[in-house]
Amino acid sequence: MSNTFSDYSQSSAIIPQKKNSFIIHIILFIITFITTIIAGLEWTTGKMGPYEFNDLVHGLPYSLSILFILACHEFGHYFAAVYHNVKATLPFFIPFPPIAGFFNFGTMGAVIKTKSVIPNNKAMFDIGVAGPIAGFIACLIVLIYGFTHLPTVDYILKIHPDYFSPEYGKEGINLEFGSTFLFEILRYLFTNPQDFIPPMSEIYHYPYLCVGWFGLFVTAMNLIPVGQLDGGHILYGMFGDKIHEAFASIAMLLLGALGLIGLLNAFINLNITFGWSGWLFWAFILYFFIKVKHPPVPYFEKLDIRRRIIGYLAMLIFILSFSPTPFIISLTN
Protein backbone atom coordinates (compact mmCIF):
# COMPACT_ATOMS: atom_id res chain seq x y z
CA MET A 1 0.00 0.00 0.00
CA SER A 2 1.23 3.58 -0.18
CA ASN A 3 4.00 5.31 1.74
CA THR A 4 3.33 4.16 5.32
CA PHE A 5 1.73 1.10 3.76
CA SER A 6 3.52 1.12 0.40
CA ASP A 7 5.93 3.36 -1.44
CA TYR A 8 7.36 3.62 -4.91
CA SER A 9 8.97 7.02 -5.42
CA GLN A 10 11.45 8.21 -8.01
CA SER A 11 13.95 9.06 -5.28
CA SER A 12 14.35 5.39 -4.52
CA ALA A 13 16.00 4.89 -7.91
CA ILE A 14 19.38 5.68 -6.36
CA ILE A 15 19.10 2.84 -3.84
CA PRO A 16 21.30 -0.08 -4.94
CA GLN A 17 19.82 -3.58 -5.01
CA LYS A 18 21.87 -6.21 -3.26
CA LYS A 19 21.96 -9.68 -4.74
CA ASN A 20 20.95 -11.35 -1.48
CA SER A 21 18.21 -8.81 -0.68
CA PHE A 22 15.56 -11.52 -1.15
CA ILE A 23 16.64 -12.83 2.26
CA ILE A 24 15.40 -9.58 3.82
CA HIS A 25 12.03 -10.04 2.09
CA ILE A 26 11.73 -13.58 3.45
CA ILE A 27 12.71 -12.63 7.00
CA LEU A 28 10.29 -9.69 7.09
CA PHE A 29 7.52 -11.88 5.70
CA ILE A 30 8.09 -14.55 8.36
CA ILE A 31 8.14 -11.99 11.17
CA THR A 32 4.97 -10.36 9.82
CA PHE A 33 3.36 -13.78 9.58
CA ILE A 34 4.07 -14.31 13.29
CA THR A 35 2.96 -10.83 14.41
CA THR A 36 -0.29 -11.09 12.43
CA ILE A 37 -1.03 -14.48 14.00
CA ILE A 38 -0.65 -12.89 17.44
CA ALA A 39 -2.78 -9.91 16.39
CA GLY A 40 -5.43 -12.27 15.06
CA LEU A 41 -5.56 -14.06 18.38
CA GLU A 42 -5.93 -10.78 20.25
CA TRP A 43 -8.69 -9.45 17.99
CA THR A 44 -10.71 -12.64 17.73
CA THR A 45 -10.47 -13.85 21.33
CA GLY A 46 -10.16 -10.52 23.13
CA LYS A 47 -7.38 -12.00 25.23
CA MET A 48 -3.79 -10.89 25.58
CA GLY A 49 -0.89 -13.35 25.79
CA PRO A 50 1.01 -15.31 26.74
CA TYR A 51 -0.45 -17.98 24.50
CA GLU A 52 0.26 -21.66 24.23
CA PHE A 53 1.63 -22.95 20.94
CA ASN A 54 -1.64 -24.75 20.17
CA ASP A 55 -3.49 -21.42 20.39
CA LEU A 56 -1.63 -20.02 17.41
CA VAL A 57 -3.69 -21.96 14.89
CA HIS A 58 -6.69 -19.79 15.80
CA GLY A 59 -4.82 -16.74 14.52
CA LEU A 60 -4.22 -18.25 11.08
CA PRO A 61 -7.47 -17.11 9.37
CA TYR A 62 -6.71 -13.51 10.28
CA SER A 63 -3.02 -13.76 9.39
CA LEU A 64 -3.46 -15.49 6.04
CA SER A 65 -6.26 -13.12 5.04
CA ILE A 66 -4.34 -9.94 5.79
CA LEU A 67 -1.18 -11.24 4.10
CA PHE A 68 -3.28 -12.18 1.07
CA ILE A 69 -4.66 -8.63 0.76
CA LEU A 70 -1.24 -7.03 1.26
CA ALA A 71 0.39 -9.34 -1.27
CA CYS A 72 -2.29 -8.67 -3.89
CA HIS A 73 -1.91 -4.91 -3.42
CA GLU A 74 1.88 -4.87 -3.60
CA PHE A 75 2.22 -7.34 -6.44
CA GLY A 76 -0.30 -5.23 -8.33
CA HIS A 77 2.22 -2.40 -8.13
CA TYR A 78 5.12 -4.74 -8.85
CA PHE A 79 3.74 -6.36 -12.01
CA ALA A 80 2.62 -2.99 -13.36
CA ALA A 81 6.18 -1.75 -12.85
CA VAL A 82 7.55 -4.82 -14.64
CA TYR A 83 5.10 -4.23 -17.52
CA HIS A 84 6.52 -0.73 -17.99
CA ASN A 85 10.15 -1.87 -17.62
CA VAL A 86 10.51 0.04 -14.36
CA LYS A 87 12.86 -1.74 -12.01
CA ALA A 88 11.24 -2.48 -8.66
CA THR A 89 11.92 -4.55 -5.57
CA LEU A 90 9.73 -7.35 -4.32
CA PRO A 91 7.40 -6.34 -1.45
CA PHE A 92 8.87 -5.62 1.96
CA PHE A 93 6.31 -6.72 4.57
CA ILE A 94 6.36 -4.53 7.68
CA PRO A 95 5.64 -6.30 10.99
CA PHE A 96 4.13 -4.51 13.96
CA PRO A 97 4.69 -6.17 17.35
CA PRO A 98 1.87 -6.42 19.88
CA ILE A 99 2.02 -3.34 22.10
CA ALA A 100 -0.53 -2.75 24.86
CA GLY A 101 -2.68 0.31 24.25
CA PHE A 102 -2.21 0.38 20.45
CA PHE A 103 -4.51 -0.72 17.65
CA ASN A 104 -2.50 -3.77 16.72
CA PHE A 105 -3.24 -5.22 13.32
CA GLY A 106 0.08 -7.08 13.40
CA THR A 107 1.49 -5.15 10.47
CA MET A 108 2.05 -1.68 9.09
CA GLY A 109 1.43 -3.06 5.61
CA ALA A 110 4.02 -3.64 2.91
CA VAL A 111 6.11 -1.54 0.53
CA ILE A 112 7.89 -1.84 -2.77
CA LYS A 113 10.58 0.48 -4.06
CA THR A 114 11.17 1.47 -7.67
CA LYS A 115 14.83 1.63 -8.71
CA SER A 116 14.51 3.50 -11.97
CA VAL A 117 12.74 6.66 -13.08
CA ILE A 118 9.08 6.27 -14.01
CA PRO A 119 9.19 7.67 -17.58
CA ASN A 120 5.69 9.06 -18.13
CA ASN A 121 2.28 9.61 -16.61
CA LYS A 122 0.86 6.44 -18.22
CA ALA A 123 3.36 4.29 -16.38
CA MET A 124 2.84 6.34 -13.22
CA PHE A 125 -0.92 5.88 -13.51
CA ASP A 126 -0.72 2.13 -14.18
CA ILE A 127 1.68 1.48 -11.32
CA GLY A 128 -0.38 3.66 -8.98
CA VAL A 129 -3.78 2.21 -9.79
CA ALA A 130 -2.80 -1.47 -10.04
CA GLY A 131 -2.17 -1.84 -6.30
CA PRO A 132 -5.51 -0.47 -5.01
CA ILE A 133 -7.49 -2.34 -7.67
CA ALA A 134 -5.81 -5.66 -6.86
CA GLY A 135 -6.05 -5.06 -3.12
CA PHE A 136 -9.69 -4.04 -3.42
CA ILE A 137 -10.57 -7.26 -5.25
CA ALA A 138 -8.79 -9.20 -2.52
CA CYS A 139 -10.84 -7.31 0.11
CA LEU A 140 -14.04 -8.23 -1.72
CA ILE A 141 -13.06 -11.91 -1.74
CA VAL A 142 -12.28 -11.90 1.99
CA LEU A 143 -15.42 -9.96 2.95
CA ILE A 144 -17.78 -12.02 0.81
CA TYR A 145 -16.30 -15.19 2.26
CA GLY A 146 -16.67 -13.76 5.76
CA PHE A 147 -20.30 -12.76 5.28
CA THR A 148 -21.25 -16.06 3.66
CA HIS A 149 -19.50 -18.13 6.34
CA LEU A 150 -20.62 -16.41 9.51
CA PRO A 151 -20.52 -18.72 12.54
CA THR A 152 -23.60 -19.22 14.69
CA VAL A 153 -24.36 -17.06 17.69
CA ASP A 154 -22.55 -19.61 19.87
CA TYR A 155 -19.29 -18.17 18.52
CA ILE A 156 -19.78 -14.76 20.13
CA LEU A 157 -21.17 -16.34 23.29
CA LYS A 158 -17.93 -18.27 23.77
CA ILE A 159 -16.08 -14.95 23.75
CA HIS A 160 -18.71 -12.94 25.66
CA PRO A 161 -20.98 -15.30 27.62
CA ASP A 162 -22.97 -12.27 28.85
CA TYR A 163 -23.41 -10.78 25.38
CA PHE A 164 -27.23 -10.71 25.56
CA SER A 165 -27.27 -9.52 29.16
CA PRO A 166 -28.55 -5.96 29.79
CA GLU A 167 -25.31 -5.34 31.67
CA TYR A 168 -23.06 -6.24 28.74
CA GLY A 169 -20.73 -3.43 27.69
CA LYS A 170 -21.43 -1.25 30.68
CA GLU A 171 -18.69 0.25 32.83
CA GLY A 172 -16.00 -0.21 30.24
CA ILE A 173 -14.39 1.05 27.04
CA ASN A 174 -16.23 0.15 23.85
CA LEU A 175 -14.57 0.00 20.42
CA GLU A 176 -16.62 0.18 17.26
CA PHE A 177 -15.39 0.15 13.68
CA GLY A 178 -16.96 2.79 11.46
CA SER A 179 -18.95 1.31 8.62
CA THR A 180 -18.62 2.20 4.94
CA PHE A 181 -21.00 2.15 1.97
CA LEU A 182 -19.38 -0.99 0.59
CA PHE A 183 -19.35 -2.85 3.90
CA GLU A 184 -23.08 -2.17 4.32
CA ILE A 185 -23.84 -3.22 0.73
CA LEU A 186 -21.99 -6.52 1.12
CA ARG A 187 -23.62 -7.21 4.47
CA TYR A 188 -27.04 -6.63 2.90
CA LEU A 189 -26.34 -8.81 -0.14
CA PHE A 190 -24.58 -11.77 1.49
CA THR A 191 -26.19 -12.27 4.89
CA ASN A 192 -29.46 -13.76 6.01
CA PRO A 193 -31.43 -11.44 8.32
CA GLN A 194 -32.59 -14.50 10.25
CA ASP A 195 -29.00 -15.31 11.27
CA PHE A 196 -26.96 -13.50 13.91
CA ILE A 197 -25.05 -10.73 12.15
CA PRO A 198 -22.39 -9.11 14.32
CA PRO A 199 -22.67 -5.34 14.78
CA MET A 200 -19.75 -3.05 14.00
CA SER A 201 -18.83 -3.13 17.69
CA GLU A 202 -18.10 -6.87 17.45
CA ILE A 203 -16.77 -7.56 13.94
CA TYR A 204 -13.16 -7.52 15.14
CA HIS A 205 -13.90 -10.93 16.69
CA TYR A 206 -14.62 -12.25 13.18
CA PRO A 207 -11.26 -12.55 11.39
CA TYR A 208 -12.46 -12.28 7.77
CA LEU A 209 -14.73 -9.31 8.49
CA CYS A 210 -12.02 -7.64 10.56
CA VAL A 211 -9.36 -8.09 7.87
CA GLY A 212 -11.74 -7.12 5.07
CA TRP A 213 -12.73 -3.95 6.92
CA PHE A 214 -9.07 -3.14 7.59
CA GLY A 215 -8.27 -3.69 3.92
CA LEU A 216 -10.95 -1.20 2.88
CA PHE A 217 -9.67 1.27 5.47
CA VAL A 218 -6.11 1.29 4.19
CA THR A 219 -7.28 1.18 0.57
CA ALA A 220 -9.19 4.40 1.21
CA MET A 221 -6.18 5.92 2.96
CA ASN A 222 -4.01 5.11 -0.04
CA LEU A 223 -6.54 6.52 -2.51
CA ILE A 224 -6.61 9.98 -0.93
CA PRO A 225 -5.50 12.17 -3.87
CA VAL A 226 -2.46 13.68 -2.18
CA GLY A 227 1.22 13.68 -3.17
CA GLN A 228 2.65 10.24 -3.81
CA LEU A 229 -0.16 8.25 -2.31
CA ASP A 230 -1.77 5.89 -4.81
CA GLY A 231 -4.65 8.34 -5.21
CA GLY A 232 -2.15 11.10 -5.91
CA HIS A 233 -0.47 9.05 -8.64
CA ILE A 234 -3.85 8.30 -10.19
CA LEU A 235 -5.15 11.87 -10.18
CA TYR A 236 -1.84 13.30 -11.40
CA GLY A 237 -1.64 10.70 -14.17
CA MET A 238 -5.15 11.57 -15.33
CA PHE A 239 -5.19 15.36 -15.08
CA GLY A 240 -1.71 16.74 -14.45
CA ASP A 241 -0.26 18.89 -11.72
CA LYS A 242 -2.74 21.81 -11.53
CA ILE A 243 -5.89 19.74 -11.05
CA HIS A 244 -4.02 17.33 -8.79
CA GLU A 245 -2.81 20.17 -6.59
CA ALA A 246 -6.32 21.63 -6.33
CA PHE A 247 -7.90 18.34 -5.29
CA ALA A 248 -4.99 17.53 -2.99
CA SER A 249 -5.44 20.85 -1.19
CA ILE A 250 -9.17 20.21 -0.76
CA ALA A 251 -8.47 16.70 0.52
CA MET A 252 -6.00 18.04 3.06
CA LEU A 253 -8.51 20.61 4.33
CA LEU A 254 -11.21 17.96 4.67
CA LEU A 255 -8.84 15.57 6.47
CA GLY A 256 -7.79 18.33 8.83
CA ALA A 257 -11.42 19.25 9.50
CA LEU A 258 -12.42 15.64 10.20
CA GLY A 259 -9.41 15.25 12.47
CA LEU A 260 -10.08 18.49 14.35
CA ILE A 261 -13.75 17.61 14.84
CA GLY A 262 -12.76 14.19 16.17
CA LEU A 263 -10.21 15.74 18.52
CA LEU A 264 -12.62 18.35 19.87
CA ASN A 265 -15.38 15.78 20.25
CA ALA A 266 -13.06 13.59 22.32
CA PHE A 267 -12.27 16.37 24.79
CA ILE A 268 -15.39 18.55 24.75
CA ASN A 269 -18.02 15.96 23.76
CA LEU A 270 -19.71 17.89 20.96
CA ASN A 271 -22.05 14.95 20.32
CA ILE A 272 -20.98 14.92 16.67
CA THR A 273 -21.15 11.47 15.11
CA PHE A 274 -18.38 11.89 12.54
CA GLY A 275 -14.69 12.73 12.60
CA TRP A 276 -11.63 10.96 13.95
CA SER A 277 -8.58 12.52 15.57
CA GLY A 278 -6.36 10.09 13.66
CA TRP A 279 -7.13 11.94 10.44
CA LEU A 280 -5.37 14.98 11.89
CA PHE A 281 -2.25 12.88 12.47
CA TRP A 282 -2.49 11.43 8.95
CA ALA A 283 -2.82 14.95 7.52
CA PHE A 284 0.32 15.92 9.44
CA ILE A 285 2.22 12.96 7.95
CA LEU A 286 1.01 13.79 4.45
CA TYR A 287 1.90 17.47 4.68
CA PHE A 288 5.37 17.17 6.19
CA PHE A 289 6.63 13.84 4.88
CA ILE A 290 4.68 12.66 1.84
CA LYS A 291 4.02 16.22 0.63
CA VAL A 292 0.90 17.58 -1.02
CA LYS A 293 2.26 18.18 -4.53
CA HIS A 294 3.13 15.38 -6.93
CA PRO A 295 6.63 15.39 -8.47
CA PRO A 296 6.67 15.74 -12.26
CA VAL A 297 7.37 12.92 -14.70
CA PRO A 298 9.71 13.33 -17.72
CA TYR A 299 6.88 13.01 -20.26
CA PHE A 300 3.14 13.71 -19.93
CA GLU A 301 0.33 12.93 -22.37
CA LYS A 302 -3.44 12.49 -22.24
CA LEU A 303 -4.56 9.07 -21.04
CA ASP A 304 -6.69 6.83 -23.25
CA ILE A 305 -10.36 6.18 -22.47
CA ARG A 306 -9.66 2.76 -20.91
CA ARG A 307 -7.27 4.23 -18.36
CA ARG A 308 -9.62 7.11 -17.60
CA ILE A 309 -12.46 4.67 -16.88
CA ILE A 310 -10.19 2.70 -14.55
CA GLY A 311 -9.22 5.97 -12.85
CA TYR A 312 -12.85 6.91 -12.23
CA LEU A 313 -13.44 3.38 -10.94
CA ALA A 314 -10.62 3.91 -8.44
CA MET A 315 -12.29 7.14 -7.30
CA LEU A 316 -15.56 5.23 -6.81
CA ILE A 317 -13.69 2.63 -4.76
CA PHE A 318 -12.38 5.44 -2.57
CA ILE A 319 -15.89 6.78 -1.95
CA LEU A 320 -17.30 3.33 -1.18
CA SER A 321 -14.41 2.39 1.12
CA PHE A 322 -13.86 5.63 3.06
CA SER A 323 -15.14 6.04 6.59
CA PRO A 324 -15.01 9.55 8.14
CA THR A 325 -15.08 7.88 11.56
CA PRO A 326 -13.18 4.58 11.25
CA PHE A 327 -12.76 4.08 14.99
CA ILE A 328 -15.35 4.98 17.61
CA ILE A 329 -14.22 4.66 21.21
CA SER A 330 -16.72 5.35 23.96
CA LEU A 331 -16.90 5.03 27.72
CA THR A 332 -20.03 3.53 29.26
CA ASN A 333 -21.20 3.76 32.84
Q: Tens of pLDDT along 54-66?
A: 888 999 999 999 9
Contact of 127 with 66, CB cutoff 8 Å = no
Domain count across the chain: 1
> Average pLDDT in the 263-275 region?
81
Q: Cis peptide leading into 50, omega within 30 of 0?
A: yes
Q: Which residues contact 304 (CB under 8 A, 6 or more apart)?
A: none
Render pLDDT for 173-225 as a digit per residue (tens, 0 to 9).
788 999 999 999 999 999 998 999 999 999 999 999 999 999 999 999 999 99
Phi, psi of 99 (to 5 degrees): -125, 125
Q: How many residues does the chain have?
A: 333
Whole-angstrom Cα distance, residue 247 to residue 264? 26
Q: Which domain, by its residues, includes 34?
A: 10-332
Q: Is the pLDDT of residue 256 over 90?
A: yes
Q: Is the pLDDT of residue 9 over 50?
A: no
pLDDT score for 100:
67
| Residue 73 covered by a domain | yes
Cβ atoms 307, 126 nearer than 8 A: yes
Does residue 1 fall inside a structural domain? no
Confirm whether 5 is domain-assigned.
no
Q: With 50 as the cut, is the pLDDT of residue 227 above it?
A: yes
Distance between CA atoms of residues 208 and 45, nearest Å: 14
User: Is residue 67, in this structure, part of any structural domain at all?
Assistant: yes
Specify if 309 maps to a domain. yes
4 belongs to a structural domain: no
* Best CA proximity match to 225, nearest among 315, 106, 115, 321: 315
Domain assignment present for residue 149? The answer is yes
* Residue 6 exposure: Cα atoms within 13 Å on the Cβ side: 36
Residues 114/74, Cβ–Cβ less than 8 Å: no
Predicted confidence at residue 19, as pLDDT, reads 57
Residue 132 lies in a domain: yes
